[in-house]
């Protein structure tokens, strides 16, 4: 094939960021395909049911210690969240994938709602999770409406790292529908360690890439402030972890004026 045959027109790799309720078949397929790739190496952990993890270790007080919590099979939980925002709470996960987090965390929460673009991942999540978990597609308005205003805590893992600015703003608008006033949103933005060689890292203003759903977007503190501006949230705190290459940000849902 000639060099010209492989050339892409400017913008050919760009994907428009649509609000969650307007998610298209293209977005579903893009992430279903990504999950088929992930499952090649991760199927053993992603397909293990919650019953394969009988333990219920106490949740540590510190979110950085929670990240290291292990259930004896698979990886440490790698979730940044405060214990009191999980125990006995109504929790929602944005970008829940195959329920890898829900099937472990739901044993501490009152209820657990997971939502995602990928129909494939959601189907696996339903099969591996306990009955207190509910999984609803992100574009299923009728399925999600009963949860509006009823969620105490929104968590996410390996999620905000893949959201550009346009999509992240749509996500905030969407999540504001679910959180009670005073409820918390825990976001895991990417913040690279300069000593680590990086794969594909974009600034948040770059469009989404069709070819690379798992590309990461780096958010500075200013980017996060710009993101939250105009939304009913305030920044409670942030923690930068060089080890995890993350800027963890805790937002609080402000009451309606
Ligand atoms: C890297 S996976 C992480 C899955 C899960 N949080 C975990 O830790 O196992 C990212 C997930 O987010 C979903 N996703 C990405 N952007 C999304 C969006 N804007 N709305 C809903 N789901 C999204 C993808 O379909 C994928 O399942």
| pLDDT tens digits, one per residue of 204-222 | 999 998 888 889 999 999 9
| Smallest CA separation from ligand 1 atom 27, residue | 97
| Smallest CA separation from ligand 1 atom 14, residue | 95
Ligand 1 nearest atom to the CA of residue 121, by list position: 27
Q: Give me the domains of the chain, ranges plus CATH numbers.
A: 19-47+84-253 (3.40.50.150)
| pLDDT tens digits, one per residue of 74-113 | 789 999 999 999 999 999 999 999 999 999 999 999 999 9
pLDDT of residue 5 exceeding 70: no
Cα atoms in the 13 Å half-sphere on the side-chain side of 165: 17
DSSP single-letter state for residue 234: E
Q: How far is the CA of 2 from the centre of ligand 1 (A)?
A: 36
Model pTM?
0.94
Strand partners, 135: 114
pLDDT number for residue 73? 75
Nearest-CA neighbor of 27 among 101, 116, 98?
116
Q: Is the CB of 30 under 6 A from ligand 1?
A: no
Nearest-CA neighbor of 81 among 95, 68, 64?
64
| Smallest CA separation from ligand 1 atom 9, residue | 100
Ligand 1 nearest atom to the CA of residue 97, by list position: 27
**Tokens found for residue 30:** 């893009």
């Amino acid at each position: 094939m000639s060099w010209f045959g492989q050339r892409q027109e400017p913008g050919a790799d760009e994907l428009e960021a649509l609000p969650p309720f307007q998610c298209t078949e293209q977005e579903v397929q893009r992430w279903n395909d990504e999950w088929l790739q992930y499952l090649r190496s991760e199927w053993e952990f992603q397909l293990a049911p919650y019953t394969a993890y009988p333990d219920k270790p106490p949740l540590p007080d510190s979110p950085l210690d929670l990240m290291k919590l292990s259930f004896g099979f698979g990886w440490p939980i790698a979730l940044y969240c405060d214990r009191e925002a999980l125990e006995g709470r109504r929790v929602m996960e944005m970008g829940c994938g195959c329920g890898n987090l829900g099937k472990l965390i739901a044993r501490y929460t009152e209820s657990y709602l997971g939502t995602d673009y990928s129909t494939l991942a959601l189907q696996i999540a339903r099969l591996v999770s306990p009955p207190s978990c509910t999984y609803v597609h992100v574009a299923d308005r009728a399925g999600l409406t009963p949860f509006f205003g009823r969620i105490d805590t929104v968590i996410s893992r390996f999620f905000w790292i893949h959201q550009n600015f346009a999509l992240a703003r749509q996500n905030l608008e969407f999540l504001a529908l679910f959180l009670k006033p005073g409820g918390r949103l825990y976001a895991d933005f990417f913040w690279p360690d300069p000593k680590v060689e990086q794969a594909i890292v974009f600034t948040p203003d770059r469009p989404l890439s069709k070819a690379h759903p798992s590309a990461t977007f780096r958010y500075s503190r200013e980017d996060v402030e710009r993101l939250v501006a105009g939304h009913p949230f305030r920044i409670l705190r942030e923690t930068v972890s060089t080890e995890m290459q993350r800027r963890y940000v805790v937002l609080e849902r402000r009451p309606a004026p």
